[in-house]
Amino acid sequence: MKIGAVVQARTSSTRLPRKVLKELPMGSGVTVLEQVIRRLKQSKKLDEIVIATTEDETDNPIVEIARKEDVRYFRGSLDNVLERYYLAAQENHLDVIVRITSDCPCIDPGIIDTLVENHLENGADYTSNSLIRTFPHGLDVEVVNFRVLETAHKDASESFEREHVTPYIYNRPKKFRITKFKAPKELTAPDIRITLDTEEDYCLLCAVFDYLHQDNEFFPASSIINLFKEKPWLKLINKKIIQKRVFDNLDDEIKAALQVLDLQDMDGAKKFLENAYFKSP
């Protein structure tokens, strides 16, 4: 059995372009993507690491990083991420795929190993530690069997199911055996956000790395949570950032839009949207 991490990475992110190429720690010459790769190399369960990027020439720097870090890479569709994932796994003969995103430079190899073990022991088709939010944002791990990913690739028809990798799977609990993995008490901190989508996120990550990286290059999730307990003001840095989500219907998307308007004190627009959408006959 071959277990591999497939890491989706591109430079054309909308909220923070070229975010995976930012230095972390700042001034270190080490990119966010390199931090992700180096942490994955600490896993005891991964046989392969594959960077799944796009065919767009703007993503050439991502390929250069993969070569520099001596990991495999695959270039595929920009928009059809499900296809890109499937073809990357197929080309590298993976039996079990660990899905990691390149904007999570604090990913914990210990958590990865625990989820892989749990996935195999339970005979699951798909295992996730983010379907029920207990871990901090930015420590997300998904584990999926190749045959299940292949089914999703063949049968997914909705655009959001192809723009993302796993919605087709986790929205079909009757078709697939799904395990929802919850954090142990000492790692339960769903209010902490250490993923990278915005400038505020980057500032927070720089602070986290400044505090922890020098003493332990691969500081674990427990160190992050203890740091936030010691310095609760860190949460204020990206407090108003709303996590990007995959929406299955328009109602949920409108509710999220109202939340954004509320955070920005755009009361007029919020009231207009409420009246137009939820109160219309």
Residues paired with 106 in a beta bridge? none
Domain assignment of residue 207, yes or no: no
Any idea what the CATH number is for the domain that residue 22 is in? 3.90.550.10
Determine, yes or no, domain membership for 12: yes
| 222: in domain | no
- Tell me the pLDDT of the chain (281 aa) as tens digits: 999 999 999 999 888 999 999 999 999 999 999 999 999 999 999 999 999 999 999 999 999 999 999 999 999 999 999 999 999 999 999 999 999 999 999 999 999 999 999 999 999 999 999 999 999 999 999 999 999 999 999 999 898 899 989 999 999 999 999 999 999 999 999 999 999 999 999 999 999 999 999 999 999 999 999 999 999 999 999 987 655 555 556 666 666 666 666 655 666 666 766 676 666 54
Closest by Cα among 183, 139, 146, 138 to 165: 146
How much is the pTM?
0.86
Q: Examine residue 25 and say whether the peptide bond preceding it is cis (omega within 30 degrees of 0).
A: yes
How far is it, in rounded angstroms, from Cα 246 to Cα 258?
16
- Nearby residues of 133 by Cβ (< 8 Å), 6 or more positions away: 190
Which range of residues forms the domain containing residue 91? 3-187
227 occurs within a structural domain: no
Q: What spatial distance separates the first Cα and last Cα of the chain, rounded to whole Å? A: 56
Judge whether 232 lies within some domain: no
Answer left, alpha or beta for residue 104, where phi above 0 means left and psi between -120 and 50 means alpha: beta
Quote the CA–CA distance of 145 and 49 in Å, as a whole number.
16
Q: Please check whether residue 194 is in contact with residue 243, taking contact to mean a CB–CB distance below 8 angstroms.
A: no
Pairing of strands 48-54, 72-76: parallel
